[in-house]
Structure 1
């Protein structure tokens, strides 16, 4: 079994699950998002958002592959690029943090450490870019795959609650903490899989 991470680009966007490929929950404000879904332009709006974010800020997502199959993804960006970030009762995101918008792992790969691998890949990249923390809004009443990941997922990969709420808490992961996983996680995965470092980003050729 081999695992690898790649960056989300316009080319790899097609590898997202179909419902996520056309979802603009985070990328547009609520009114614009509903309009895009109603008039059938959601996919184009998502492409435009990714293109703009890549051009102006840089990488904004990671995809995980297991034996060549898309198995999960995360998206992230500064809150200024995420209109929906101001719609939560626990807003705003801290000024020193990047927002982890959503995370998804294909059910058949859940409970395999893939969610942690994705978050670690994001943490490693953002640290190189001078970011100090990642924050996320979570769903405390999560029941099925949706645009907002469950609280339990974030807690399981090292996030801590900074703004509690009965439904939409905001959580935070200090990147110096996340990078503390690196050696142990990479060593364990390399020993188990006998392959490359799990967070090595390759060019392009439910949860934890």
Structure 2
């Protein structure tokens, strides 16, 4: 399946996966005297994203399978990435590894609904992160940071329908620290549970990724060619 990543637009809120349309984990201050149950989470999330897009610019990327529609349907969504200036994210100050560096944008969400092929899920995450990095480099942002999660056995497992009914919390609304490290993020504020990680951005970042990927493909092709040639050698020649 091909992966197409589109920038989230003002009219594209419905393209987000079900959980991400309702998730208030990052957008509400946990100390505020307001009950989540008393609010319409989809309305609050759409209002928050709309405000960001109007005041700051693009703040989301949506991955779909095999469609190049500018506004894909949520049923086509394979995942999404959301990011914002840290002062626009109410929960930030409540992490033990805060604050976010003043020159960085915060990656809040990197979600993929359950996908049978774990490798394909990683492909979706990489495609989303690549789109985020390209967008931020073009806007002159110096770094991307994220509060990662070190999971424990007590963390809830995502529901099979794309987390549509799973309550918001660290286990369902944060990105695995291990995955961020695998992608190239470095821990700059260690913590046993919520480390803060940073990815330095520069204009060569995307170019280097493309070159490395191209070299890997060339090496794989060369290896396949050598194997095929060896297989054609007649018995007894060597």
Indicate whether the TM-score tops 0.5.
yes
> Could you tell me how far apart the structure 2 residues matched to 1:188 and 1:71 are?
25
In the alignment, which residue of structure 2 is the partner of 1:30? 30
Q: Distance in 1 between matches of 2:216 and 2:79?
A: 20
Q: Report the Cα distance in structure 2 between the residues aligned to 1:20 and 1:149, rounded to whole angstroms.
A: 13
Q: 1:125 aligns with which of 135, 151, 158?
A: 135
Count of aligned pairs: 188
Deviation at 1:58, TM superposition (A): 0.3
Partners of 2:63 and 2:215 in 1: CA distance: 18
**In 1, distance between residues paired with 2:9 and 2:24?**
16
Q: 1:105-145 CA deviation, whole Å, 9 max, x = no partner?
A: 22215422221111111011101101011000011125434
Q: How far has the Cα of 1:183 moved from its partner?
A: 3.5
Is the Cα contact below 8 Å between 1:33 and 1:42 reproduced in 2?
A: no
Which residue, 87, 91, 95 being the options, matches 1:88?
95
Which residue of structure 2 lines up, in the alignment, with residue 45 of structure 1?
44
Give TM-score, length-normalised by structure 2. 0.72
Q: Could you tell me which residue of structure 2 aligns to residue 164 of structure 1?
A: 190
Note the C-alpha offset of 1:60: 0.5
The TM-score with structure 1 as length reference comes to 0.82
Q: Could you say if the C-alpha distance between residues 79 and 185 of structure 1 is closer, same or farther in structure 2, counting changes exceeding 3 Å?
A: same
When the two chains are superposed, the root-mean-square deviation of aligned CA atoms in Å is 2.2
- State the alpha-carbon separation in 2 of the partners of residues 178 and 82 from structure 1: 26
Change (3 A) 1:34 1:166: farther
**Whole-angstrom CA distance in 2 between matches of 1:56 and 1:126:** 16
CA distance in 1, matches of 2:84, 2:46: 15
Question: Which ranges of structure 1 fall in alignment gaps of 5 or more residues?
Answer: 190-208
Superposed, 1:1-208 pairs within 5 Å as: 1-32=1-32, 35=35, 37-68=36-67, 69-108=76-115, 110-112=118-120, 113-141=123-151, 143=155, 144-145=157-158, 146-176=172-202, 178-179=205-206, 180-185=208-213
1:66 CA drift (Å): 1.4
| Secondary structure, aligned partner of 1:130 | coil
CA offset at residue 10 of structure 1?
Answer: 3.8
Q: Offset at 1:3?
A: 1.8
Give distance in 2, aligned partners of 1:185 and 1:122.
Answer: 18
Flag the structure with more relative contact order, 1 or 2, with Cα contacts below 8 A and sequence separation at least 6.
1
> What is the CA–CA distance in structure 2 between the aligned matches of 1:49 and 1:185, rounded to whole Å?
36
CA distance in 1, matches of 2:27, 2:80: 16
Partner secondary structure for residue 119 of structure 2: coil
Corresponding position of 1:197: none
Q: Relative to structure 2, which stretch is displaced further, 180-189 or 92-101? A: 180-189
| 1:138/1:149 contact within 8 Å kept | yes
